[in-house]
Every structure is written in structure tokens, then in C-alpha cells.
Amino acid sequence: MEKTTAYVNAKIYTMENDGAACEAIAVRGGRFVYCGSSEEAAAMADDVIGLQGKTVIPGLIDTHIHLFPYACSLERLLLDKVTSVKELQDKLREYAKNVPAGEWIYGFGFDNERFTDDKSLPTKEVLDEACPDHKVVIGRWCMHFFSANSAALAAAGIDRSFKPEVEGTVLYGADGEPNGVLSDASGLKVVSLMPDAYATLEAKADVLEKAIRELNKKGFTGAHPVQARHVNLPEYMAAYQKLKDEGRLNARLYYATDDFEELKAHKGEGDELLRYGYYKLFLDGGLGGRSAAMIAPYCDDPGNTGVLNYTQEGLTEALRKAYSLGIQTGTHVIGDKACEMLTNAVETLLREDPQPDPRIRMIHLEVATEDVLQRIRELPVVIDAEPLYMDTDAAWIEDRIGAARMPYANAWGRMLRDGVVVTSGSDAPGLDEDPWLGIYCCVTRCDKNGWPEGGSCPENRMSVYEAVCTYTKYAAYDSFEEDIKGTISPGKLADFLVLDRDIFTVEPEAIKDTNVLKTVLGGKTVYEA
Ligand SMILES: [Zn+2]
């Protein structure tokens, strides 16, 4: 007989309904077996864990993350906050302690203009002083200038007789030797010599395991990794499978890919820990670079309506090939033209071949129109929103699209109240993965500094309950798993969090500073503060 563990004296928001709560849960065999009173839970348990009135909610699910690139980004030596040569040297020295002598060190993102002691581009002497035993190259944030130390220059064969491919891309000191400052082609030549740190399956699995530990720390028990090869965002199913086989996979993953053949070959494979998911398509670009496809031109770039990767027929055909096989699709749409085209395509597919429950994913749906918002109410779609757009786009979105289109931008509150399912994803590593900042953004519609006051188009705010739904039960619905996870209820997988505050009663500004005290996946504690 398996052991039963009770968690008692807590404030447990089950998320079954708004306000539904209990004070205790019991877990056996990785599932909830009881939700109710502390006395009854304790009576049926072998172990009893008291939670001192702390808040408990279901584990969170990130429905859009580039997990492998995110994992790699966590390991990179970031130099973007460095403000002096001395600090640069200290950072390199510190980092080098964990790198075997003779190996490469790559640092990224420095800005010598911000250095308070010496604003010139760092020379090889600066780097040699900090790391004489490693091959070091650092890239300026602009990616046009690099600095290399003596060992890195030697490895690349850059000495006084070296003939650069492009003249002027190697700088020399008074002694006629290269001084370590390189630009463009010569800098990239050195960078290209570094071996791929994640070449083996072993290394990929290791770095992913570390990244998932970070996600557990933030409160995630699940994620939908998205492979997008044409924008250089790879994922490796074999690495996830390896973690799973070795009992090291501490999050439930629903794997999306733009590799149709891979998905077709493995359609429906997987279990509650690791599953093949949806087919990913890209219809347009983004608002930041004014490449999202718009019906009318950008307000700050008259004549430009963005770019489309498909014609209407091409898009419908690309979706049809998956839809006809019962494979879920998810299409990146940001501009209102792209949102309209995807809506057209979905209507066409349903007309031709009505399927009972396809849950077609519209990824981002950043700028809709009144017409699109009306039509999607009747369609079997799920919107994969990105809450942090409230933070990242706040300063310029109105310049791009103008006041008249603002009520249709990220219209999450309205969509939810129209009965459309909305989920939340981070799009990390491009954006921050922090779900508490995400919930705060959904609830306040402000950036992280509280701007604009009162929120942008406050009619589209979510309640805290709605925001948490987008990360829990609606996210579970997104992968057809609402029967096994997303709420706290007997029979469901025991994925839950203990928090340091009651996010349902604190001031909205305080939600973003929430700390997770404990993350439990299938009854097993995978993170504890
Ligand atoms: Zn993405």
C-alpha cells in the first residue's frame, strides 16, 4: 500500500471555481486523493505536513517557452551590467573558477561607453590580467566589436603577419602586434572556433535539467517547449526523453515543433510527463520591428503593413495538412491582418471537415479587430497570450498602432468574458519567464513600474482568478489534459505550490514579488526554498 501524505492547515485555492478553497489535501500515488478538512486529511495519512496557513495553488504551466535556448541563456556569462574595466575583470575571474584551464570563455553584452574608469575597447592585456589560463573572447552588446586575450588570438592564428579577410577588422598596438580588439569578420572568426558546449545529448540533458529546476523555483510544474528552427530556436526531444528515462524530468512537457514530419511520425505519443504536442507555424513578425502584418499601416511608419509568411491559401493548406490528421496546430499571429487570416483559415477548415474538438491555438494574437474578436467566440480556438507584453511593449505600442487600435491589443479580459479560452506563456528567453510578474501584468495591465497608472485599456484586465486560470486549468485544456491537471481535486495529478503570500488578497503590485516556498510535482517535492 502506498504512503499517504496530508498537507494541512493551509489556504488551498483549488481553482475549480472562483473562490473555491479548502484547508487540507491528501496525496497518494502522485495524485490528490482528498481535499477538505485538516482533521480528515490527517486521519487518512501516514505523514502530516503542517503549512501554517500558507497559500496553496495548482502548479503553473508555461504554454509557450523556448526551453533549450532558455536553458543555454542561463549559463551564458552576461556582461551587460558591467560598469568598469575592474568589474569586467572581476566577473571574468569569478567565472573562470568553474571553467577548466585551457578552455574557452565567452562573455557577452558589455558596453564600454558605460565604463567609469576607461571607455576604450578592452585590449588583450585587460583580459590576460584576469584570465591568463583560458581562451577568452567577449562581445560588445552591438555584436560588431569583440575583445580577445592572447590565448584566443593565438588559437585563431591572429598575429602580426595575419591577413584578415576584411581589412581593418584587427586593431594593432604600438608594438605592431594585434592588441586584442577585433571587429565584425575577425571577431566572429574567433567566436566560431569555440566548440558547441551542448554538442552531446548528455550536455543537452544536463543543461535542460538545470533550467527546469529554475522553472520549478518560479512555480512551474509544466511547460510547452516550442521548437522554431527557422528562427534558430531548437529543441531536442531526445534530451527530454533521456531526462525522463533517467527519472530526472521534473516538469510535464507538451512538445511543439515546426518539424511536421517528426510530429506526424510520433502523433499521439507520450504520457502525462512528456508528450508530443502541436505543429507550430509562423504567419507574421512582431510589433517591435514593425514586421507584424497589419490591415492598415503602422502609425509611426506610414506605408508599412508588415510581412506575411503565407498567402491565405498557403496558410489554410499548411494548417489543413495537420488538421486532417488530427494534429493540433499553433500559429504565431501578432498583427490584425495575421489574426484575421488565421480566423479565415480556421473557419474554412471547420466548414470543410468539422472536427469535434480541435483546440486550434492562436499564438500571441496581439492585435485583433472587433470582427476577429466576434468571430473567435464561435470557434474552437485557444489563445496563447503573453502577459509580459504589458511590460515590454508599454513604452511604444501606441506609437506603432495608434489609440484607435489599442482596445483590441491584448484584449484578454474581454476574450475571457466572451468565453474564449486564454492561456499564458512567457516566450522566454526573449522575455522574462517570471509568472508572478505575468499574473501582475494580466491583473494591472501595467509595466513592472506601474505604468500607465490605472492600466492600459483597463476593461481588458483579468481578475487574479482569471489570471491564475490562464497558467493552470486553461493551460491544461490547451494540451487536452484538463481531466488530469490544472486544478486541485481528487483524482488529479498532485502538482501544487506553497506560496509566501495570498495572491488573491494582497495588493496587485505585491503579486509580482511572490516567492514560491515549495513546488510539488506528482506528490514529489521538486523545489523547496
Ligand atoms: Zn516564441
pLDDT digit string, tens, across residues 306-342: 999 999 999 999 999 999 999 999 999 999 999 999 9
Question: How many angstroms separate the CA atoms of 306 and 295, rounded?
Answer: 9
Helices (H) and strands (E) in the chain, counts: 19, 24
Q: What is the pLDDT of residues 276-310, one digit of tens each?
A: 999 999 999 999 889 999 999 999 999 999 999 99
What is the residue type of 356? P
Confidence of residue 430 (pLDDT cuts 50, 70, 90): confident
pLDDT exceeds 90 at position 487: yes
Between β-strands 31-36 and 47-50, what pairing exists: parallel, antiparallel or unpaired? unpaired
- For 246-352, strand residue ranges (E) read 252-257, 274-282, 329-333
Helical spans, DSSP H, in 141-200:
150-155, 184-192
What's the pLDDT at 246?
98
What is the pTM for the complete model shown? 0.90
Q: Residue 429, preceding bond cis, omega within 30 degrees?
A: yes
What's the pLDDT at 280?
97
Helical spans, DSSP H, in 97-192:
124-130, 150-155, 184-192
At 68, list the grid cell: 533549450
Share of the chain above pLDDT 70, in %: 100
Distance 283 CA to ligand 1 centre (A): 12
CATH topology of domain 77-191: Diaminopimelate Epimerase; Chain A, domain 1 (3.10.310)
pLDDT exceeds 80 at position 10: yes
Share of the chain above pLDDT 90, in %: 92
Distance 120 CA to ligand 1 centre (A): 37
- Tell me 223's DSSP state: E
Distance 481 CA to ligand 1 centre (A): 22
Distance 71 CA to ligand 1 centre (A): 14
Domain ranges of the chain: 4-53, 62-67+199-520, 77-191
Question: How many angstroms separate the CA atoms of 99 and 132, rounded?
Answer: 13
For domain 4-53, the CATH superfamily is: Urease, subunit C, domain 1 (2.30.40.10)
Longest dimension (CA), the chain: 82
Cα angle: 514, vertex 517, 521; to 5 degrees: 110
- Distance (Å) of CA 505 to CA 57, 61, 298, 509: 14, 22, 40, 11
What's the pLDDT at 482?
98
Q: What is the pLDDT of residues 454-484, one digit of tens each?
A: 999 999 999 999 999 999 999 999 999 999 9
Same fold, 4-53 and 77-191: no
Which residue's C-alpha cell is 516538469? 251
Question: How many angstroms separate the CA atoms of 443 and 458, rounded?
Answer: 9
Distance 66 CA to ligand 1 centre (A): 6
Q: What is the pLDDT of residues 246-271, one digit of tens each?
A: 999 999 999 999 999 999 999 999 99
Asked if 293 contacts 284 with a C-beta cutoff of 8 angstroms, the reply is: yes
Distance 230 CA to ligand 1 centre (A): 12
CB atoms within 10 A of CB 344: 15
What's the pLDDT at 429?
87
Distance 228 CA to ligand 1 centre (A): 8
Average per-residue pLDDT in the chain? Answer: 96
pLDDT exceeds 90 at position 94: yes
Distance 69 CA to ligand 1 centre (A): 11
What class does CATH assign to 62-67+199-520? alpha beta
Distance 430 CA to ligand 1 centre (A): 8
pLDDT exceeds 80 at position 241: yes
Distance 226 CA to ligand 1 centre (A): 7
Distance 6 CA to ligand 1 centre (A): 39
Asked if 254 contacts 359 with a C-beta cutoff of 8 angstroms, the reply is: no
| CB environment 121-140: b (16+ within 10 A), e (fewer) | bbbbebbbebbeebbbbbbb
List of residues 6+ apart from 262 with CB closer than 8 A = 237
